[in-house]
Structures are given as structure tokens and as C-alpha cells.
Structure 1
């Protein structure tokens, strides 16, 4: 190995060491950006929907027309902390877990 080979080997080692120190931080930038994108596109909207759903469940009252996760439409006739009694037809009442209420609908949409 000649003088040029030794100089080349020494030069690349020094350059790689300098790149390694700054390259470590630069390698994490795409990872940090991906985490931020996931947070703003997936996690944050899901948390917002969960908060709205909890708020809707807390505001349920007798007489509200609701739809369940299974697709049943009914009118609330009774409420407890965890169970909602729905009247789905004249004289037909069913009990549903409060968490399975998907939303409150207007009475006009219930008949469609």
C-alpha cells in the first residue's frame, strides 16, 4: 500500500467520524416527523371523537331518539349509569349498554 493509499484511508476515516456525529441527529429527523404526522392525522382526531362520544353519552335524557351500534332506533324511556332502556316499538322495550349508543337522531330521521 503506497502513500496515496494510506492518505486515502486516513482521510476517509476522519470524514466518516465527522459524518457519524452529525448524522445521528439527522437520522432521527424523519422518525420524529413520522411520529408527528401520525399524531396529527390518527391519534388526535380519534381522541377528539372519543371525547365527543363521552359528552353525548353524558347528555342523554329521557325522550331522546337514539341509534345503537347494532342499528336499532328507539326512544329512551329509562336511564341508569350503565344501561339505557329503549322503546323500539309500541310496548317493546330493550335494555342496551350506554356505551353502545352511537348517536342522537332527530325524530323525523327516525321514521325514514
Structure 2
């Protein structure tokens, strides 16, 4: 039956082993790629969004993550803001849901 098994599969010697340094270098390289492609850009976006949220003041025109456009009427201490969507409608939202601060008079231009 030995004629059915090729010599490559039935080799008897010790299997070749890679260096432990190559495994460590590969893991470090993978960690660096992971950091620079995923973690670092996410940290930058988080820092920019935090700065945006902290800069909201009364009178700013904002866009929320839900797609609402409005003018900030009041900024509360507890992390909420009240925005006016039009003359009759006011909405209270959490500051975290602000996607962008728009340039002045953007709502009138629409």
C-alpha cells in the first residue's frame, strides 16, 4: 500500500519550524497596521466630535444625526440642547446627537 502515498506526505523527518522572532515580528507588524488603520483614525474622529459638541452655543445652526436642522435656543448643563426647527416647533435633544454646526443663515438659504 505504500505506493499510494507520495513521498512528500509520508516524509519522516522533523518538520521545519519558523523562528520565534519571525512570529513576534509578524504580530508587531499586524498590531501596527491595526493601530494606524483602525484605532488612530477613530480616536481622531472622537476627539473632533468632542470638540464640536463642546463648542455649541446659543444661536448656532446645527444638523443632528437624525437629519433635523435647527437653531440652538438653549444649552443645558446636563448635556441637552433645545433647538427650534421652525417658529412653532422646539425639540430637546442630547448634545451627542449633533452631527455638524452649520454656517450662519444656512437654514434661511434652504
TM-score range, shorter chain: 0.7 to 0.9
* Alignment partner of 1:83 is 2:75: no
Separation in 1, partners of 2:76, 2:52: 15
Q: Find the structure with the greater CA-based Rg.
A: 1
Aligned length: 96
* Structure-to-structure mapping, 1:1-112, within 5 angstroms: 23-81=19-77, 82-110=79-107, 111-112=109-110
Separation in 2, partners of 1:76, 1:108: 13
Root-mean-square deviation (CA, aligned residues, Å) is 1.9
Q: Which runs of 5+ in 2 are unaligned?
A: 1-11
1:37-78: CA deviation from partner (whole Å, max 9, x where unpaired) = 110111011101101111111111000000111000000000
Tell me, yes or no, if the aligned pair for 2:80 and 2:92 is still in contact at 8 Å.
Answer: yes
**In the alignment, which residue of structure 2 is the partner of 1:6?**
none
- Tell me, what secondary structure is at the counterpart of 2:71? strand
Of Structure 1 and Structure 2, which has the larger fraction of its residues in helix? Answer: 1
Separation in 2, partners of 1:100, 1:57: 9
